[in-house]
Amino acid sequence: MDELVSLTYRSRVRLADPVADIVQIMRASRVRNLRLGITGILLYNGVHFVQTIEGPRSACDELFRLISADPRHQEILAFDLEPITARRFPDWSMRIVSRKELRALAPDLERLDLSGPEDVAELHRTIAASLSKGDADASG
């Protein structure tokens, strides 16, 4: 059985039409990620993406190769690839957090210029806790 991992990276975004491009990215991601057994979260602040993908190591490696070859991503910096025992985002084949939502969840974060894995881990905790609470509030 393939080891379960979490992979986080940051990239500078290069989008011709940001709204249309992000809609297309999300549609393709949800279908592909469901097929590959990948879950995750995509943060977008208008300049950078920070994305965490979780799933089997081989699927995450394949997806990261595709992302690295995608011209919409530049200056890709991988922060973290680590084995995990449980997914942090188990219910999201890919959840996007927009600029507006990101500002509301993490108002001190001007840009996604995170300097290391500790910053990413803290941001994940903040956002996952807020979004999980919001999803529970919305459904109940």
Each residue of 5-41: pLDDT tens digit? 999 888 888 888 888 888 888 888 888 999 999 998 8
User: Does the pLDDT at position 80 exceed 90?
Assistant: no
Q: Is 51 annotated as a binding residue?
A: yes
Domains in the chain (CATH in brackets) are 4-139 (3.30.70.100)
Per the confidence metrics, is the pTM higher than 0.85? no
The per-residue pLDDT for 18 is 83
Contacts 24+ apart (CB under 8 A), 103-112: 105/130, 105/131, 109/45, 111/45, 111/47, 111/48, 112/10, 112/43, 112/45, 112/47, 112/48, 112/49, 112/50
Q: What percent of the chain has pLDDT over 90?
A: 24
> Is 57 known to sit in a ligand binding site?
no
Q: What are the φ/ψ torsions at residue 12 (nearest 5 degrees)?
A: -80, 135
Q: Is position 74 annotated in a ligand binding site?
A: no
Would you say 45 is a known binding-site residue?
Answer: no
Look at 79 and 77; give whichever has higher pLDDT.
77
The residue type at 78:
A
